[in-house]
Amino acid sequence: MEFAFPWPMSQGEWLAWSSAVVTLLFGLLLFLAPGLAFRILRLQVKPEKAAAIAEGRGRMSGFYLGVSLCCILLAQPLLYL
């Protein structure tokens, strides 16, 4: 089985692909720098539960990373809806 990366061909596909890349970058920010992401989103954890940042990391970044990677790798038009 041969794997080929689906490059966008039209201007509309490039816009959709670019929005998926921006979503991927946002998901990576939430995953790799949860403290910074919490400050940007103006969220706080309770001082006695400092481990809540780690829980928020997976819950917030998982959706953005999953959807954006599916859109980039599969290139199906219905995924962008």
Q: What letter represents residue 31's amino acid?
A: F
The pTM of this model reads: 0.79
- The reported pLDDT for the residue numbered 59 is 85
Distance CA 64, CA 25 (A): 9
Query: pLDDT tens string for the chain (81 positions)?
Result: 566 777 888 898 899 889 999 999 999 999 998 888 888 889 888 888 878 888 888 888 999 999 999 888 887 777 776
Domain extents in the chain: 11-80
Nearest to 61 by CA among 33, 42, 80: 33
What is the pLDDT at residue 64?
92
Q: Report the Cα 56 to chain-centroid distance in Å.
A: 14
How confident is the model at residue 25, as a pLDDT?
A: 96
